[in-house]
Structure 1
């Protein structure tokens, strides 16, 4: 029983390649393996896809530009409708210039009405403060003179209104 199992009954066959054997493939097999079959319905070349994407992108950009143009035109029309007549930038510029001229005239009139006494009293107070930066209380006499000149001017103004 045990003797039959330990004795080899069959020979093992080992296949070893012969060093002198060369393998040759036909040119048609090599070309089929190097160029896989292309099924045009399922495998689209990259350049076709790129062209389609570029065309679609250009179309979308054109639609976007048209939409932006229409929105801009609508907003401009709406702003023009809201704008009051005569409220253009030219009219506003002229109005601003008129206000500036009025302010300048008022300054000149104020200076003319002020009188020489008030101007000299104001200048006296200013000089005193600049000369006595550390001791501004030394300028009390000039400040009182200025107040008196202003009081006289106010009384003259009130009398002119009566």
Structure 2
């Protein structure tokens, strides 16, 4: 063992040198050669590894994000332009209909009275009809139908007196239903 160490140090002293950092550098006169199979195996491993380095992956991710952001912006601008075109076309079509349809029926003949001139006039007509309906509803209150009002009051009184057992009010419920049916029949007769 001592012989091997002595030979090693003898060889090391001839081929080594030290620099100012205290590092030992070995120099050899013989060039280093690798077998072709080792070189091909290392090349195959490098080519077979599809995973890029973290710096490369981060650069690729940044480029992809920038492209996606640009495409989204472009699509939004195109969408806004299309929406503006649709809005403009619809406005033009509505104005044309109002101009062409004022005073005409669907078959093109002049209706004379009651023709809609604009959407503002139509809204006014709708408000007038709504007012008429409300006035009609006010006139048709329960006071005009005493049997419905009486049966309703009986039902409410029964429910108040039988809070825990509301099923005992079945007679009042049936009476109320009958009075409403009678009211409906009379109302439908007036519509005919």
Q: TM-score, normalised by structure 1?
A: 0.38
Which structure is higher in RCO with an 8 Å CA cutoff and minimum separation 6? 1
TM-score normalised over the length of structure 2: 0.34
Pick the structure with greater CA Rg: 1
